[in-house]
Structure formats: C-alpha cells, structure tokens
Amino acid sequence: MDTLTSFSFATVPTILSSPGATKALGQELRARFPNIRQVLIVTDQGFLRTGLADAPTASLRAAMFHVEQFADVIADPPEHVIEEALTLARQHEIELVIGLGGGSSMDVAKLVAVLAASSQSLSEIYGIGNVRGSRLPLVQIPTTAGTGSEVTNISIVTTGSTSKTGIVAPQLYADMAILDAELTIGLPAAVTAATGIDAMVHAIEAYTSKHKKNPLSDGLARQALTLLSRHLIRACENGGQDLAARQAMLLGAMLAGQAFANAPVAAVHALAYPIGGIFHVPHGLSNSLVLPHVLRFNAEACAEQYAELAMIVVPHAEGSVVARAEALAVAMQQFATITGLPRTLRQVGIAASDLDLLADDAMKQTRLLGNNPRPVTRDDAHALYKLAL
C-alpha cells in the first residue's frame, strides 16, 4: 500500500445494524428528529406485498409522525417515477424521506429528498457534483442485500427508454442507514443471489478502482467480501430462517457500498448497465453475466489484486498470482451456478445481433470505464459480450 497517496473518504454519519430495529423505527427517528411531523416512505409494490412495511409504519404513527407512502417505484426507476414521488412529497409538505426497499426505492428516495426543497430540476443534476444546496432529512432502510445504496452518494435513473444515468453528489449520502435483516427474510432466492453478487462486484471493483483506490475502501471491500462470500449460499438456501446469514449479507452489502462510494466501480458495471437498461435484466444478474469475462480481461492489469481477493473468497486456491486470479473468476462463476442464476446472455433473451447495440451503449458509461484497471475499447466491449453470450 502506498501511504503517500492522497485520498478522501466520506460515508453516512449514522449506521444502525440491528435485526428487528425497524419495529421501533418511530422511537428511533423521534429521538433524532424531535420537530418533524410529515414523513414520506418511498417503496415498491413488491416489498409492500410482503406486509413488512406495516410494523415500521405503525411505529412511526405511534411516535406522532404523519406518514405518507409512495409505493409506485419500479425496478431501474425511470424519470417519471421520481417526478410522481416528488409531486406527492410537495403536496404533503414532506419534511423527512425514508427509502424502504431495494436500490430502486432508495435511489428514488435520495432524489426526492434532494429535489423536494430545491429549485433545481432532475435534468439539471445528472452527472457528478451538480446538486446545489441541502436536502430534506433522509433515512435509508435496505430490504435487499445488494446495492449498498443506503451508504452511497449515487442514484441511478433510467433516462429515455433504455439508458442508465448516474447522479453523484455528497448530498445523496443519507443521515442514517438502518440494517434490519427481518426485512430481508422473505427475499426470494433468485433475488438474494443476484443482489448478493452485485454487492460482491462492488467490493471487487472498489478494490481494483484505478484512481481512487484507498486504504479505507480496501479494508471495507475485503471485510465485505469475507461476509458476502461466506453467507451468500446460506442466505439463498435457508434465507427464510437464517437471520444471522441475512444480517451478514446486509452488513457485507453496506460495507461494499462504503467502499465503492469512495473507490468507484468500473467495467463490470459499465457493461451491465446496457443489459439492464435495454433488456430489463435485474441489475445484479446483469453484473453476474459479464463478471467472469471482465475479471479475466482485467487480470492482465490487476492479477495481483485479484489474487489477494481470491485468498478471501477461495482461501484454498494455490499457485501463481495468475492462477489465483483465475480462481477468483471461477469462484464468482460458481456462485451463479450454485444459486441457479442464468449464466449466459442467451439465457436472458439476448442474441448475437444485439451485441453491437450493447457495446455502443456500454461505451457511453465513461464515468465508470475511466475507473477500470485496464482500458476498454469498443472492440473489447463487443468481445466481452460475445464471450458472455
């Protein structure tokens, strides 16, 4: 580690990790926000159907909060979802926003908190550092163990019909994140697997991030991978009962989020976004489909770092640095196999004739590609999709 390298690190100031914590959400927030009355919960229909939003909502009401709910978030949220949530927030003069759901709900919650009290429009804040002023108080409660959005300064919006565009700004860090595994206990195995692999990718890409890799994000990425790799299969196979595995997954995803908020993700995500945007493949699965191919491509530039991570994910791996880097790629592919996720682009309905479109779109993800340890040309992107086909 080069200790002379300059870096800065930021994260959410308060993190509460406690199974069952959201049953007392009202008391928790009343103690922190004594003068607030109007609260908006941002969630989606899928989570609402679990009934798990009932207890936190009742607890907020018992603590004298007036609770409005926006439950129309859809996966990979398009702009109109944010506008609708914003209209509701303004109508009810919302004073505090709670994201309760997966990355999609939390990303919408961030933008509502930022825009509700602002004269800026959504289109003005795309990109890095374009948010002006402050935001409404914001509390994030993940119900998937994946994106780490509860501790990142990033929000991802589907713009137009297919493109995924990021907003990155310090105002997007929440005031508080609450990790409560009781909310993830009913998460279906396929969603658990895909979102868990997304979290592992955050850790891997943070650890090899080209410009902002730093000692804090390295430590977080390693700890995240330890937790995620040891508990992913348990959470998929016995997630309905195994609260310890579920809390470990939430913790791992959050730590990976802290890592990549400060050492950003790269080509795996750049290649995954078009798959999600154009073909509506869930974000974690999109990552998983291209992951082994990008790892092998990148190994030419960062085999040493992959070999270090292999010692965490596959501690029995032996041999040269290159052999251990390859063991990491194999191990990541095995997570997809064991958990029954699709392994090829064809399995999710993508054909050879789609690869040009995907490659063109991936090249637009310049924010992400710039972080990749090895430069990616358009030909490289096309070849990587072909390997994944």
Smallest CA-to-CA distance from 117 within 80, 89, 84, 149 is with: 89
Smallest CA-to-CA distance from 190 within 257, 105, 283 is with: 283
Residues that bind ligand NAD (rule: CB under 6 A) add up to a total of 32
User: In the window 124-143, what residues touch ligand NAD (CB under 6 A)?
Assistant: 143
Q: Is 146 in the site for ligand NAD (CB under 6 A)?
A: yes
Nearer to ligand NAD, 57 or 152 (CB): 152
User: In the window 39-78, what residues touch ligand NAD (CB under 6 A)?
Assistant: 44, 46-47, 50, 75-76
Kindly tell me which residue out of 57, 155, 247, 305 binds ligand NAD, with binding defined by CB under 6 A: 155
In the complex, least distance from residue 321 CB atom to ligand NAD, rounded to whole angstroms: 29
Kindly tell me which residue out of 9, 24, 32, 186 binds ligand NAD, with binding defined by CB under 6 A: 186
For the chain, how far is it from start to end, CA to CA, in angstroms? 37
Smallest CA-to-CA distance from 246 within 99, 368, 371, 142 is with: 142
In the complex, least distance from residue 10 CB atom to Fe ion, rounded to whole angstroms: 19
- What x/- string results for residues 15 through 44 when contact with ligand NAD is judged by CB under 6 A? -----------------------------x
- What x/- string results for residues 323 through 342 when contact with ligand NAD is judged by CB under 6 A? --------------------
Q: Is 213 in the site for ligand NAD (CB under 6 A)?
A: no
Binding partner of 166, given ligand NAD, Fe ion, none, CB within 5-8 angstroms per partner class: none
Q: Is 198 in the site for Fe ion (CB under 5 A)?
A: yes
CA 127 remoteness from chain centre? 17
CA distances from 26 to 2, 21, 70, 102 (A): 45, 10, 18, 21
The tokens for 267 are 């080509």
Binding partner of 152, given Fe ion, ligand NAD, none, CB within 5-8 angstroms per partner class: ligand NAD
User: In the window 210-239, what residues touch Fe ion (CB under 5 A)?
Assistant: none
- What x/- string results for residues 89 through 108 when contact with ligand NAD is judged by CB under 6 A? ------------xxxxx-x-
Please calculate the CA angle 155-12-367 and round it to the nearest 5 degrees: 35
In the complex, least distance from residue 277 CB atom to ligand NAD, rounded to whole angstroms: 9
In the complex, least distance from residue 131 CB atom to ligand NAD, rounded to whole angstroms: 14
- What x/- string results for residues 264 through 283 when contact with ligand NAD is judged by CB under 6 A? -------------------x
CA 364 remoteness from chain centre? 20
From 178-186, 288-296, 318-326, 349-357, span contacting ligand NAD (CB under 6 A)? 178-186
Q: Is 239 in the site for ligand NAD (CB under 6 A)?
A: no
- What x/- string results for residues 342 through 361 when contact with Fe ion is judged by CB under 5 A? --------------------
Residues making contact with ligand NAD (CB under 6 A):
44, 46-47, 50, 75-76, 101-105, 107, 143-144, 146-149, 152, 154-156, 164, 183-184, 186-187, 191, 195, 198, 283-284
What residue ranges bind Fe ion (CB under 5 A)?
198
